[in-house]
């Protein structure tokens, strides 16, 4: 949809985008959904402290998104 505004990336999505290539290399025959499951398992093993940089990035992304799309409301 040309007028569709995507939601800002959350912590996990940022982690996924940063780690996708590494996991794709590790599991070359995995389909996207299965690859996401592998990444999810690793994400869930991280401590709160290890997740903190992703939390900060997601807040920055959310702020930029809010500035770019002031009236945005998520509509599934």
pLDDT at position 1 over 90: no
Please count the structural domains in the chain: 1
| Residue 12: C-alpha distances to residues 3, 6, 33, 43, 71 (Å) | 25, 16, 14, 7, 24
Nearest to 44 by CA among 21, 12, 71, 14: 12
Range of the structural domain that residue 20 is part of: 11-66
Identify whether 61 is part of a domain.
yes
If one counts every other C-beta atom within 10 angstroms of the C-beta of residue 1, the result is 4
| 5 belongs to a structural domain | no
Structure confidence by residue, pLDDT tens digits, 26-75 = 889 989 899 899 899 999 999 999 999 999 999 999 999 999 999 898 88
CATH number of the domain at 28, please. Answer: 1.10.30
Per-residue pLDDT at 2:
60
The closest alpha carbon to 75, from 1, 15, 6, 2, belongs to 6
Of the candidates 9, 11, 2, which has an alpha carbon nearest to the alpha carbon of residue 55?
11
Residue 24 lies in a domain: yes
Tell me if 4 is assigned to some domain: no
Per DSSP, 27 falls in state S
Give the pLDDT score at 49.
98
């Amino acid at each position: 949809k040309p007028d569709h505004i995507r939601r800002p990336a959350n912590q996990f999505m940022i982690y996924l985008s940063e780690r996708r290539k590494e996991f794709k290399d590790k599991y070359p025959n995995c389909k996207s959904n299965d690859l996401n499951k592998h990444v999810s398992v690793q994400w869930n093993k991280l401590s709160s402290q290890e997740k903190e940089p992703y939390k900060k990035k997601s807040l920055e992304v959310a702020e930029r998104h809010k500035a770019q799309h002031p009236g945005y409301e998520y509509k599934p």
